[in-house]
């Protein structure tokens, strides 16, 4: 199978030029002007951008969060929706059971993904406990299994929280292996105390999710994670950073030269805590952690993205249906499953709110949505760029087309969830054709992909690469 894309404006994190691109089998083999080649399939990309497929390094597909409660997109529906949104690679999170083996968790996640995923995928390992005897599992994961990143939580004391000793132990080993630790950094111990106080005072509605998670508790978690990583001599990546106070900790540490990286997510760039004042139970749609923040934080995050204090934009896609799943917390907000959908919306939202709004240029758009994650997570240059020899993961992106994000817009909503977190937002920029390893997945709103065609990607360790 070969593909020829003519006259596209090829944009990478560093380049911007008009050319033809020819891909044979799975990889890009020729880029140039007026290529004299024939292909099985040709596209005229005049007036369009040709960008590397998006890399979303933070998604939760088929994630169990409580007995009988599982995130509503599985690897088939979630990766299909990702593709419609211009993302051709995702990284999900196997979760170690407390007292269980990380290798077992990896096997479970391989079972969930294999035969279902429509795009390529990798895994980060969530560590929930780490006695000395389990440290060799980290070695196995990095050296043999292609899992070179570990996520730990200072949040959720009842489920995923680890104490500082475990944090240090994991970081120390990760540092020795050249692996990286990813941190969900909020002070869950204090937050749980604030939640108990709110419930005692009769505050049970969904808006109280946001009101019980102050920004100071995220900033403290970020500071502590960075401090422990420094002592442990490990690289650390802060996930879903949501506020100016936490960003300041990252900025300060990076300024000293420490290997600290961070992502933010579209929900923190485009939504704010006024959603928690929505009537009835509506606010449950935005129950996610960290919570949505006061609107002033958005400007600080954009500033951080421009200046590379933040390196990537991920979705933290973790959808739960409003009618069937979010309603579990009708009488008590702590029972609402945490998370929101977004895997399909990231590229258009960031293009519109970033490039069209004049906050970032088109190269930085590609870097934030694709290249930086590919580099940080050991996938570059196979993923994250357009170059001879790279996988032919490509998006022909219409920079002018406007669409409204809505659960009722069949072009914009393929996620298996009954609401959109961004309902009614109009965006400019639409992934018209999406190609994964030379196979056309989506074209003009139609699905041409195949469940199970996505491959597991073994990822190399960071190798102290700086971004």
**Separation of alpha carbons 393 and 388, rounded Å:** 12
Q: How far is the CB of 137 from ligand URP (least distance, A)?
A: 22
Smaller CB separation from ligand URP, 78 or 339:
339
Among 221, 319, 339, 438, binds ligand URP (CB under 6 A): 339
Number of chain residues interacting with ligand URP (CB under 6 A)? 8
CB of residue 318 vs ligand URP: minimum separation in angstroms? Answer: 4
Q: Give 185-231 as a DSSP string.
A: ---HHHHHHHHHHHHHTT--STTHHHHTS-HHHHHHHHHHHHHHHHH
CA distances from 64 to 71, 97, 395 (A): 6, 11, 32
Half-sphere exposure of 437 (CA within 13 A, CB side): 14
Q: How far is the CB of 289 from ligand URP (least distance, A)?
A: 4
Contacts with Zn ion by CB under 5 A: the residue count is 2
184 binds ligand URP (CB under 6 A): yes
272-301 footprint of ligand URP as x/- string (CB under 6 A): ----------------xx------------
Among residues 6, 9, 48, 60, the one that binds ligand URP under rule CB under 6 A: 60
Is 338 a binding residue for ligand URP by CB under 6 A? The answer is yes
Q: Give the integer Cα–Cα distance in Å for 304 and 299.
A: 9
Q: How far apart are CA 302 and CA 342, in angstroms?
A: 19
Closest contact distance (angstroms) between CB of 195 and ligand URP is 15
Q: Which x/- pattern, by CB under 6 A, does the window 360-399 give for ligand URP?
A: ----------------------------------------
Q: Residue with structure tokens 């990607």?
A: 457
213 binds Zn ion (CB under 5 A): no
Contact present, 290 and 239 (Cβ < 8 Å): no
* Contact between 85 and 348 (Cβ < 8 Å): yes
The stretch among 32-40, 139-147, 183-191, 393-401 that binds Zn ion (CB under 5 A) is 183-191
Alpha carbons 448 and 1: distance in angstroms, whole number: 14
What dihedral do alpha carbons 203, 206, 211, 213 form, nearest 10°?
A: 120
Nearer to Zn ion, 316 or 344 (CB): 316
H or E stretch at 9: strand 2-11
Min CB(336)–ligand URP separation in Å? 10
Instruction: Rule CB under 5 A: say whether 73 interacts with Zn ion.
Output: no
Q: Of residues 45, 171, 177, 318, which one binds ligand URP by CB under 6 A?
A: 318
Q: Dump the DSSP string for 297-337.
A: HHHHHHHHHHTTSS-EE---B----TTTTGGGGTT-GGGSP
Report the DSSP pairing between strands 69-70 and 446-447. unpaired
Residue of 184, 254, 346, 364 that binds Zn ion (CB under 5 A): 184
Separation CA 291–CA 305 (nearest Å): 20
Place of tokens 């995050």: 301
Residue 326 touching ligand URP (CB under 6 A): no
Query: Which 267-326 positions form the footprint of Zn ion (CB under 5 A)?
Result: 316
Q: Torsions phi, psi of 217, nearest 5?
A: -75, -25
216-245 mask for ligand URP (x: CB under 6 A)?
Answer: ------------------------------
Q: How far is the CB of 457 from ligand URP (least distance, A)?
A: 21
* Non-local CB neighbours of 357 within 8 Å, separated by 6+ positions: none
Closer Cβ to ligand URP, 314 or 425, answer by number: 314
Nearer Cβ to ligand URP, position 243 or 435? 243
Contacting positions for ligand URP (CB under 6 A): 60, 184, 288-289, 316, 318, 338-339
Contacting positions for Zn ion (CB under 5 A): 184, 316
């Amino acid at each position: 199978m070969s593909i020829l894309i003519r006259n596209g404006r090829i944009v990478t994190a560093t380049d911007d030029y008009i050319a033809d691109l020819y891909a044979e089998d799975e990889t890009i083999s020729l880029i140039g002007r007026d290529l004299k080649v024939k292909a099985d399939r040709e596209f005229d990309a005049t007036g369009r951008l040709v960008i590397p497929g998006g890399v979303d390094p933070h998604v939760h597909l088929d994630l169990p969060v409580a007995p009988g409660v599982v995130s509503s997109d599985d690897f088939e529906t979630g990766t299909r929706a990702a593709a419609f949104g211009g993302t051709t690679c995702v990284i999900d999170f196997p979760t170690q059971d407390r007292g269980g083996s990380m290798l077992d968790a990896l096997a479970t996640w391989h079972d969930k993904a294999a035969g279902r995923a429509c795009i390529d995928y990798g895994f980060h390992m969530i560590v929930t406990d780490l006695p000395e005897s389990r440290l060799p599992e980290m070695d196995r994961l990095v050296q043999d299994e292609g899992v070179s990143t570990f996520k730990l939580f200072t949040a959720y004391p009842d489920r995923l929280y680890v104490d500082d000793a475990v944090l240090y132990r994991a970081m120390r080993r990760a540092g020795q292996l050249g692996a990286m630790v990813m941190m969900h950094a909020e002070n869950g111990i204090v937050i749980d105390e604030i939640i108990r106080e709110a419930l005692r005072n009769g505050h049970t509605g969904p808006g109280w999710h946001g009101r019980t998670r102050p920004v100071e508790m995220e900033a403290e978690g970020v500071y502590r994670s960075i401090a422990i990583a420094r002592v442990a001599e490990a690289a650390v990546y802060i996930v879903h950073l949501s506020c100016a106070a936490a960003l300041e900790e990252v900025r300060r540490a990076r300024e000293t030269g420490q290997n600290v990286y961070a992502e933010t997510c579209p929900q923190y760039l485009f939504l704010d805590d006024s959603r928690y004042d929505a009537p009835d139970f509506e606010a449950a749609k935005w129950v996610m952690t960290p919570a949505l923040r006061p609107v002033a934080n958005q400007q600080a995050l954009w500033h951080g993205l421009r200046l590379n204090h933040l390196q990537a934009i991920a979705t933290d896609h973790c959808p739960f249906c409003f009618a069937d799943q979010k309603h579990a917390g009708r009488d008590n907000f702590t029972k609402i499953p945490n998370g929101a959908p977004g895997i399909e919306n990231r590229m258009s939202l960031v293009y519109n709110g970033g490039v069209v709004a004049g906050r970032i240029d088109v190269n930085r758009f590609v870097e934030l949505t694709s290249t930086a994650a590919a580099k940080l997570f050991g996938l570059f240059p196979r993923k994250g760029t357009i170059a001879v020899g790279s996988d032919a993961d490509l998006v022909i992106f219409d920079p002018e087309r406007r669409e409204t994000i809505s659960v009722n817009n069949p072009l914009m909503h393929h996620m298996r969830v009954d609401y959109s977190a961004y309902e009614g937002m109009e965006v400019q920029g639409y992934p018209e054709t999406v190609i994964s390893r030379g196979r056309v997945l989506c074209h003009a709103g139609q699905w041409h992909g195949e469940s199970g065609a996505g491959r597991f990607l073994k990822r190399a360790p960071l190798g102290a690469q700086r971004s």
